[in-house]
Amino acid sequence: MKKYTLLLAICLSACLFIYVFYRTEKTVVNYIATALLSKAGYTGVKEIITSVLPLSDLIIYSLPEGLWVFCITITSSFFYIEVRDRKLSLTLVPMLLAILMEVSQLSGITNGRFDVIDILFSAVFWMLGLFITKNIPDKEPVFQFNARAVFCASNYAIVYMAHVIY
């Protein structure tokens, strides 16, 4: 997993940048940014960045989900879950979560807006993650406590930071 660490850090940093400066202020990560910088400081920095670097709606609203799916696909590729004596790769989970998130938005269970483009971005980045990690040998069971498992779980937990609180 070490060879993917820099790539994952870049992808997650890009997601963080987009969420902090271009998405709604009602996300968990933006509440944290406001607490660290003050409301006025955060708003001032956000206004400067968005005026200097305008981004398209596809980059703002669809790319972060695709990058998140890419990251958790890579970290999931090292693990399996055993069900009825069969080892199932965790690489199916990222795409299933992306679809579940969109369906939950469509049904009103969670905040947000259903978008087929988000699913397409997720599918493309999921397939890219599968391609990059197709030769991972010796997968481990997921339910163990080691650095690799904690790193994988933390990548899943990061999506909560993008959650819209109200």
1: DSSP letter: -
| DSSP-based three-state secondary structure for 87 | strand
Q: Which residues contact 113 (CB under 8 A, 6 or more apart)?
A: 105
Domain boundaries, the chain: 2-162
State how far the Cα of 157 lies from the Cα of 6, in Å rounded to an integer: 19
Confidence of residue 100 (pLDDT cuts 50, 70, 90): very high
Average pLDDT of the chain is 88
Whether 112 contacts 105, CB under 8 Å: yes
Q: Does the structure show a pLDDT above 70 at 69? A: yes
Show the DSSP H helices in 38-107 as ranges: 39-52, 57-61, 63-76, 93-106
Structure-token pair, residue 114: 């259903």
**Radius of gyration of the CA atoms of the chain, in A:** 17
Judged by average pLDDT, the poorest of 6-15, 124-133, 150-159 is: 150-159
State how far the Cα of 60 lies from the Cα of 139, in Å rounded to an integer: 34
Q: pLDDT tens, 29-65?
A: 888 888 888 889 999 999 999 999 999 999 999 999 9
Closest C-alpha among 88, 66, 64, 65 to residue 76? 88
Judged by average pLDDT, the poorest of 62-76, 89-103, 136-150 is: 136-150
